[in-house]
């Protein structure tokens, strides 16, 4: 599990640092190496930025899910639990003179 989380974190960090300027530099390097044609620049950049956004969203969902699981294991009081206790306290206070 930790290996998967570690890989997601590294991929996410790359996605988080992805900017349009960085995507353009990556594309320019591909063109220099002959792996891409300059006419494909806009599509490449859009695809790369879309991919980075998807990775960011996936990473956020994974972190959110992992955090929820960790909190659930702690068996902490929920908002609903606290609201019930407050209601009981309020009811008791109304009974007191």
59-85: buried (b, 16+ CB within 10 Å) or exposed (e) per residue? beeeeeeeeeeeeeeeeeeeeeeeeee
Tens-digit pLDDT profile for residues 51-84: 888 888 888 898 889 888 888 888 889 899 999 9
Tens-digit pLDDT profile for residues 5-64: 555 555 555 655 667 788 788 878 888 888 777 788 888 888 878 888 888 888 889 888
Helix axes 2-16, 41-74, angle to 10 degrees: 140
């Amino acid at each position: 599990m930790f290996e998967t989380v570690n890989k997601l974190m590294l991929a996410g960090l790359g996605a988080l640092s992805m900017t349009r300027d960085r995507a353009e530099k990556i594309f320019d390097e591909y063109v220099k190496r002959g792996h891409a044609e300059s006419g494909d620049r806009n599509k490449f950049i859009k695809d790369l930025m879309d991919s980075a956004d998807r990775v960011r969203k996936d990473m956020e969902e994974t972190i959110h899910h992992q955090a929820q699981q960790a909190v659930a294991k702690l068996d902490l009081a929920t908002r609903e639990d606290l609201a019930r206790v407050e209601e009981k306290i309020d009811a008791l206070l109304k009974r007191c003179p």
